[in-house]
């Protein structure tokens, strides 16, 4: 369980805040925006950093913070950051809180806003003071359209700003501020387990496979593709097809290679009974190794193949099956 932070400073006088889990260029950029927003109103700027960052407090003051809260929690995750920030911000209720615009910051910002019942604007491009009003220029979900919102002092708002949209103020070593270290017990984080799961060549998208065994009209029908699937399984390969085989209904469309189908670039492409029409060659010509099996020595596929077999494909596939089974 988290502990309630023992805050000694009256944070109600801090009207603009910057929160982060580290102190980096993006933090200083948001601090500059907060300083500019507070500059014309005489408001003070607070900074909250929850993480292993004790040495960075003076840097924040030099770049515009008046009071810095440091929550020294090593390897603080989302749960700890959200709990610490929400606990401290709840007593301040500042009109604007600037949060990071990266994936971590945006995830935490929405959780903090939801926990406190505050407004969230994410992502935003800029926050400006126009006379007595504070406006924020925000992007929609697509990131293509901007809108302008009016912020009010009675509705605290968490705003995320992307790195690079502002410019940090020059460091002023003469600036003075206060620093408060807040003890906070880390909150248990979710355990994320990442595993690499092997794909099934029989069902995977043929564009992502390293080996393909492809069939055309020369297979003679659906039974020919049944043999092709057995060979593909032994090779750890996927099954592909020419447009003619798809048009005849022998195999589904998502297995079609060519200009009107999928473009593939496997390490190994075995073309069985495919003549090699131009639209098919266009879809597989960048394969690393192309093997062509076709009884017609004039078939265009032979001109693109690294290895050509002018032979009966059924006999070749039967021999291949036996050799792979041994």
How confident is the model over 58-84, as a mean pLDDT? Answer: 90
How confident is the model over 47-54, as a mean pLDDT? Answer: 82
Domains identified in the chain and CATH numbers: 11-181 (3.40.50.620), 206-325 (3.40.50.1220)
Is residue 281 left, alpha or beta, with left meaning phi > 0 and alpha meaning psi from -120 to 50? alpha
Q: Are 270 and 293 in contact (CB under 8 A)?
A: yes
Residues in the chain: 326
Residue 138's pLDDT band (cuts 50, 70, 90): confident
pLDDT in tens, 153-169: 889 999 999 888 778 99
Say what the pLDDT of residue 280 is. 95
pLDDT in tens, 231-267: 999 999 999 999 999 999 999 999 999 998 999 999 9
Name the more confident of 41 and 74: 74
- The whole model's pTM is what? 0.59
- Coil, strand, or helix at residue 15? strand
The contacts of residue 318 (CB under 8 Å, 6+ apart) are 227
Query: For residues 281, 282, 284 and 287, what is the CA-based torsion angle, rounded to 10 degrees?
Result: 110
- Coil, strand, or helix at residue 301? helix
Q: What is the DSSP letter of 309?
A: E
Q: Would you say residue 85 has pLDDT above 90?
A: yes
- Coil, strand, or helix at residue 208? helix
3-state DSSP of 179-199: EEECCCCCCCCCCCCCCCCCC
Q: What is the DSSP letter of 169?
A: P
How far lies 304's CA from each of 238, 244, 278, 300, in Å? Answer: 21, 19, 11, 7
Q: Tokens 């971590």, residue?
A: 104
Say what the pLDDT of residue 69 is. 92
**Where are the alpha helices (H) located in the chain, listed in sequence order?**
25-39, 57-62, 78-92, 103-116, 222-235, 243-247, 278-284, 301-304, 313-325
Say what the pLDDT of residue 10 is. 63
- Mean pLDDT across the chain: 89
Residue 139's pLDDT band (cuts 50, 70, 90): confident
Residue 4's pLDDT band (cuts 50, 70, 90): very low
How confident is the model over 209-235, as a mean pLDDT? Answer: 94
**Sheet with strand 119-130: strands edge to edge:** 146-151, 133-139, 119-130, 157-161, 96-100, 14-20, 44-50, 67-71, 178-181
Residue 41's pLDDT band (cuts 50, 70, 90): low
Which of 309-313's residues contact partners 24+ apart within 8 Å by CB, and which partners?
313/218, 313/219, 313/272, 313/273
Lowest-confidence region among 95-99, 143-147, 280-284: 143-147
How confident is the model over 25-54, as a mean pLDDT? Answer: 85
How confident is the model over 130-136, as a mean pLDDT? Answer: 82
Q: Would you say residue 17 has pLDDT above 80?
A: yes
CB atoms within 10 A of CB 226: 10
Residue 42's pLDDT band (cuts 50, 70, 90): low
98 alpha carbon, distance to own chain's centre: 22
CB atoms within 10 A of CB 268: 17
Residue 32's pLDDT band (cuts 50, 70, 90): very high
Say what the pLDDT of residue 228 is. 94
């Amino acid at each position: 369980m988290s502990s309630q932070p023992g805050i000694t400073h009256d944070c109600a006088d801090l009207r603009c805040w910057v929160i982060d889990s580290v102190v980096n260029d993006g933090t200083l950029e948001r601090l500059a925006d907060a300083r500019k927003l507070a500059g014309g109103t005489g408001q003070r700027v607070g900074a909250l950093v929850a993480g292993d960052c004790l040495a960075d407090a003076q840097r924040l003051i030099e770049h515009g913070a008046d009071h810095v809260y440091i929550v020294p929690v090593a390897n603080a995750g989302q749960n700890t950051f959200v709990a610490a920030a929400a606990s401290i911000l709840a007593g301040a209720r500042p009109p604007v809180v600037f949060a990071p615009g990266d994936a971590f910051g945006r995830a935490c910002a929405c959780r903090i806003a939801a926990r406190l019942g505050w407004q969230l604007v994410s992502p935003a491009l800029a926050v400006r003071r126009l006379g007595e009003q504070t406006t924020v220029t925000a992007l929609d979900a697509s990131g293509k359209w901007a809108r302008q919102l009016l912020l009010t002092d009675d509705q605290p708002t968490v705003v995320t700003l992307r790195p690079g949209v502002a410019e940090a103020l020059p460091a002023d070593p003469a600036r003075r501020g206060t620093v408060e270290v807040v003890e906070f017990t880390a909150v248990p984080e979710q355990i994320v387990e990442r595993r690499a799961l092997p794909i099934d060549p029989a069902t995977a998208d043929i564009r992502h496979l390293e080996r393909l065994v492809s069939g055309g009209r020369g297979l003679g029908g659906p039974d020919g593709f049944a043999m092709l699937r057995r060979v593909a399984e032994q090779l750890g390969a996927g099954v592909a097809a020419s447009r003619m085989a798809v048009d005849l209904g022998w195999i589904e469309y998502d297995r079609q290679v060519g200009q009107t189908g999928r473009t593939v670039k496997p390490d190994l492409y075995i073309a069985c009974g495919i003549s090699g029409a131009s639209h098919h060659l266009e879809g597989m010509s960048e394969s690393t190794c192309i093997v062509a099996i076709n009884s017609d020595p004039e078939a265009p596929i032979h001109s693109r193949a690294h290895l050509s077999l002018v032979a009966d494909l059924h006999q070749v596939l039967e021999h291949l099956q036996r050799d792979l089974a041994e």
